[in-house]
Amino acid sequence: MTLAAAFSHCCSPAIGILRPTATAVVKVLEVKNVDLNCAQNCNNHHTQFFSSNKLIVRRGQLFGFYVHFQNREWDDDRDKITFTVATGPKPCESLGTKSTFPLGKCPNQSHWNACYKLHNEQSLHVSLFPPASACIGCYTLNMCLVSCEHSSTQHLGDFYVLFNPWCSDDPVYLDNQAHREEYVLNEHGIVFQGLPKHVTSHPWYFGQFQDGILDICLKILDTSTNFLRDPGMDYSCRNDPAYISRVLNSMICCHKKKSILKLPPSNNYLQGHNPLMWNGSAPILRQWFQSKCKPVKYGYCGTFASVMCTVMRCLGIPSRVVTGFYCALNAVDPLTVQEVYDYTGKTLSGKEHIWVHHCWNESWMARKDINQAMSDWQYLDPTPIETSKGSVCSGPIWVKSIRDGDVDTDSDGPRVFCMLNARSTAWVSQGRGKKTKLHCDIWPCGQCISTKSVGGDLPEDVTDAYKHELGSLQEKKAFYKACRKINSQYLNAPNSEIDKDIASQRNKTLKDTGVTMKFKMANCPLYGQDVQIKWMLENLSNEAKDRKFNLCAQGMIYNGCSLDPVWKDCVPVTLGPKEVKTIKIEIPYESYGSHLCDYNIMRLAAVSMPEPKGEIMMVERDILIDSLPIEIKVLNYPKLNAPCSAEVTFSNPLKEDLKNCVLHLEGYGLFGEPIATELGTLAANHKAQTCVEFTPYRNGKHCFIANVSCNKFCNCKGYANVDMGNPPPTSGEGGA
């Protein structure tokens, strides 16, 4: 009732004259507290593995919190709330790094907004929506309450926004739950190495949810050249996963002063950490952060790709580590790699060589910079390659464009296409800059491209995603297309001319000499065993063949650089007409044991002495020496926060003692910190057995990693998967 009506009513003759009463004073609404509901929101947004006391959400999805009032209930007519979210050093609405919006009743998924419903008499449940186009990063959240013409602003706290593979409007959307669990949520991975016919598995702990890693990942972005050049513009671009991936890719090892990792000079690790001793990304990222962004010494391509994968998964971009075998990373001629040998069969180091194996990263996204409507895998390679413009890294590059020869889709496309499709040409050096082309059978580049299988530890072959079947019509079309875009001289050339030109660069085959050769080996030898290999020759002609061959075995580094020869021999061979001959070759352990690098790869080559016709034959094979096995047995049923024990066994089958043996143990969720146990000297033909006690502190699947280093090697690894919900494994797994 209004004051005038009340006064008129009071003056009615039937009632008599009464004094008017004053309207009750409405109190200004006061906020008691705000509950950001971190635990529930993190569960809803698949971020519960991060620290539970932080609000970490994914864009394109509502998150809710409670506003509790002190003195009365909410009144739509008298009370209004406005929220402001901001990120970056200079938040700006026009750049998309700041947004102010009112509290309403209806949600809107096109922009930042908030809606509410009554929770109880003096509480509101607020649902706040970060759009799928929001910049990722750390945000401040402020609330302005206007009540009865009185205004007050309150800082509610900070929250993090990540990419959202569960949201169909996000460019990183991945519609397969098993794939999301593998490529976003799984903290354990496998890095594949070795050779195409003998792939070895090395466990890696990505650790994207470990304490502090998210802040370190954002610090990496804040250390980039793009940020230092224009912080506001850099933050405004952080809504684009392609931009984020490009910046992070350059920060792994290509930044001049503050890259995360550094390559060892001339494969010398004495001033830092041997790359093969790393088992996870978190220690590397923490060391970089704690040293005020000084590059960590040292890493190699597998380390770079694994750290890149950690950062991408942490920010919400589905990612995986991929390994390819025989990759031409530094070819001078884009489509041809020149490999040179001497007459003894020794590989000569030069500017060009084919990497035995190479690791890179793939990330899942739709890229607006190439008008890509659907998400797909993108190639990202943080390993720096020296070019005329300095050190560069590659990506993102749409994987399908590599396969189809559309190398102009991305600026780095030609380099990556050549890496996987270049033709190798082998020469023998005659000294003084002269060389002769060899007769040999060359293996193709880009073999056995593999990644960890979803939900398992075995390699999944993804070669078909990068290359059409060798010799198929699609493969030829893609190659011709790429040739015309890479080399201007082929622009208007017919296919036959391209074939003729490339054929002129290739080696003639062994069949052209009338003799075929190959090295054959039943199994890879274990470290300490003599290498037993069969050299099989066949005379295809009706005439006898007399040849003299030089044989050479030398250690190889993963990047194709050769070491000094470990074994040599000279063998005369006589082949009768149509004769097939097998020659047994033995390379003693004493010859190679102290001369292999940590990757345990040896290349054996046989080169014939020049014939009157000038033809020189060669056959070669790469040999992997298996590391000594480590056996891990978890002795009792693993339970959360309950003591558990494991038995680690390492044997020395050599005829010599292993000195300065150290057992390194790691297992996030199982151990608080890595454990190093000095074993001292392990006598010849003896074994060391160690019982380790630990208390699992986190549920889920974990990886128990053991590594033995000594005076002879440092990369002897084994691992066992420990599932807190299942009985323990009966024996150790993996680890060549």
Residues 522-563 pLDDT 10s:
888 999 999 999 999 999 999 999 999 999 999 999 988 889
- At 350, list the tokens: 């030069």
Over residues 147-171, the pLDDT tens digits come to: 988 999 999 999 999 999 999 999 9
What pLDDT is stored for residue 24 in this prediction? Answer: 55
- Provide the whole-model pTM: 0.92
Please check whether residue 418 is in contact with residue 328, taking contact to mean a CB–CB distance below 8 angstroms: yes
Q: What is the DSSP string of 467-525?
A: -PPTTSHHHHHHHHHHHHHH-GGGTT--HHHHHHHHHHHSPBPGGGGTEEEEEE-SSPP
What pLDDT is stored for residue 423 in this prediction? Answer: 86
Distance between CA atoms of residues 259 and 251, nearest Å: 5
Among 391, 89, 382, 389, residue whose Cα is nearest residue 227: 89
What pLDDT is stored for residue 727 in this prediction? Answer: 60
* Amino acid identity for residue 713 in this structure: F
How far is the CA of 41 from the CAs of 54, 68, 124, 158, 184, in angstroms?
10, 18, 16, 14, 18
What pLDDT is stored for residue 17 in this prediction? Answer: 42
Distance between CA atoms of residues 528 and 626, nearest Å: 9
Please check whether residue 535 is in contact with residue 553, taking contact to mean a CB–CB distance below 8 angstroms: no
φ/ψ region of 316 (left if φ > 0, alpha if ψ in -120 to 50, else beta) reads left
Q: Count other C-beta atoms under 10 Å from residue 199's C-beta.
A: 19
Distance between CA atoms of residues 587 and 551, nearest Å: 11
Decide: residue 472, CB within 10 A, 0-12 exposed, 13-18 middle, 19+ buried.
exposed
Look-up: residue for tokens 């994987």? 399
**Mean pLDDT for each 10-residue chunk of the chain (736 residues)?**
40 42 69 94 95 91 95 90 96 96 88 91 94 98 92 95 98 97 96 94 94 97 96 97 96 87 83 90 96 94 97 98 92 79 86 89 95 93 81 90 93 90 88 84 90 96 95 92 88 86 85 93 90 95 93 92 92 94 95 86 93 85 94 90 92 92 92 88 93 89 92 88 70 43
List residues bridging with 341 in a β-sheet. Answer: 347, 428
Q: What is the CA radius of gyration of the chain?
A: 33
Domains, the chain: 31-162 (2.60.40.10), 177-505 (3.90.260.10), 510-624 (2.60.40.10), 630-723 (2.60.40.10)
Please check whether residue 93 is in contact with residue 81, taking contact to mean a CB–CB distance below 8 angstroms: no
Look-up: residue for tokens 């390699």? 459
User: What torsion, rounded to 10 degrees, do the Cα atoms 676, 680, 686, 688 define?
Assistant: -30
Distance between CA atoms of residues 279 and 277, nearest Å: 6
Catalytic residue numbers, as ranges: 301, 358, 381
What pLDDT is stored for residue 733 in this prediction? Answer: 43
**How many angstroms separate the first and last alpha carbons of the chain?**
87
CA 718, 721, 724, 727 torsion: positive or negative?
negative
Distance between CA atoms of residues 21 and 7, nearest Å: 9
Look-up: residue for tokens 């880009």? 446
If DSSP states are collapsed to H, E and C, what string results for 188-213? EEEEEEEECCEEEEEEEECCCCCCCH
Characterize the bridge pairing of strands 319-327 and 113-120: unpaired
Please check whether residue 269 is in contact with residue 275, taking contact to mean a CB–CB distance below 8 angstroms: yes
- At 312, list the tokens: 């991408």
**C-alpha atoms less than 13 angstroms from C-alpha of 167 in its C-beta half-sphere:** 25
